[in-house]
Amino acid sequence: MTKRQIALVGNPNSGKTSLFNELTGTNQSVGNWPGVTVERKSGNLKENHQIELQDLPGIYSLSPYSPEEGVARDYLLEEHPHRLLNIVDGTNLERNLYLSTQLLELGIPMAIAINMMDVVVKEGTIINCEKLAYGLGVPVLPISVVKKSGLDKIKEQLQLENNLGEKEIAYPIYDDRLEVALNEIEGLIKAYVPKHQLRWFTIKLFERDVKVVEKMTLSKDIQAEIEEIIQITEKIMDEDGESIIINERYDFISQLVALSIVKEKDFKLTVS
Ligand code: BGO
């Protein structure tokens, strides 16, 4: 029986290595990713050796600029992991969720583990994981690797079978003006990309991501049509394509975080 591959993805210092070690124990193999000096680590889930965890390099985004991001991107797009576990540092939620918005677009079933909850609680912050889960469309589980809390729920998630269609609508929806453009680009490219990766490729084309544009080998006519759609949207929204996407991601995250976080000091201010 082939093992199910599950990728652990997160920002540097989110606690990814600590979680990977906790879930796999001593049962790990270490090498390098092909062509780059970036360490590749995998290991079986202690409780179920049919589940292989792939520890991806710590990254802030899935842009094509650094070797770490390149390795993570290629793996996620080409090696088709069964599931993703996105580890997020709960003390730095807004910054960490930037990567999450990109991971959601890959069309792979995913869960989010909010780590460092021991620190979050100590700082007097309440994170409403149900609200985050509702807004992001995927399970969000609070954990503390150091305190070993919440890890049973993570193991349950990792062992879930994938449901057909599970991932279809779980990605952030942005400003209407952008969504109209993305919808038009989707129509132009849908015959050329796997259905579950359509959102990813559409957004990358809108950003004029060089590697994706090179790889897709679209006809000159389609490329010109896409460029026209981007330019019209840039004019309407008064920004370049890449900045439009970055700003939309941050707007989406800051609205979601504002709804999902309560700080103790806010309480004190209201009652005094
Ligand atoms: C040091 N809670 C707390 N409080 N800390 C955690 C948790 C948690 O749930 N999970 C991880 N950490 P990595 P990446 C350290 O190494 O797993 C800590 O980059 C130190 N080191 O112990 O390495 C973890 O793989 C000296 O902290 O993250 C580690 O994602 C003093 O977060 C750090 C204090 O974890 C990063 C901490 C010499």
ipTM of the complex in this document = 0.97
Q: Does ligand 1 come within 6 angstroms of the Cβ of 146?
A: yes
- Stretch 13-22: mean pLDDT: 96
Ligand 1 in contact with 99 (CB < 6 A)?
A: no
What pLDDT shows up at residue 163?
Answer: 63
> What is the distance in A from the centroid of ligand 1 to the CA of 18?
7
CA 210 to ligand 1 centroid distance, Å: 35
Q: Are residues 131 and 219 in the same domain?
A: no
- The verdict on 13 and 134 lying in the same domain is yes
CA-to-CA distance for 271 and 266, rounded, in angstroms?
A: 9
Closest ligand 1 atom to Cα of 144: 9
Residue 52 lies in a domain: yes
For residues 187-200, average pLDDT: 94
109 and 181 both lie in a single domain: no
What is the CATH number for 100?
A: 3.40.50.300
Could you tell me what percent of the chain has a pLDDT over 70? Answer: 94
Residue 185 located in a structural domain: yes
* CA–CA dist 71, 55 (Å, integer): 11
DSSP bridge partners of 227: none
> Is residue 116 within 6 Å of ligand 1 at its C-beta?
yes
- Domain range for 114 is 4-158
Residues 128 and 238 in one domain: no
Tens-place pLDDT, residues 121-138: 999 999 999 999 999 999
Q: What is the pLDDT of residues 160-186, one digit of tens each?
A: 877 655 545 578 999 999 999 999 999
> Exposed, middle or buried by CB within 10 Å (0-12, 13-18, 19+), for 247?
middle
Give how far Cα 238 sits from Cα of 181, 202, 207, 221, 244, Å: 14, 20, 15, 25, 9
Q: Are 157 and 139 in contact (CB under 8 A)?
A: yes
Domain identity same for 206 and 137: no
- Count of structural domains, the chain: 2
Measured in Å, residue 229 CA sits from the centre of ligand 1 at 45
Ligand 1 center–CA 25 separation, angstroms: 17
Nearest CA to ligand 1 atom 10: 15
- Of 1 and 81, more confident: 81
pLDDT of residue 166: 53
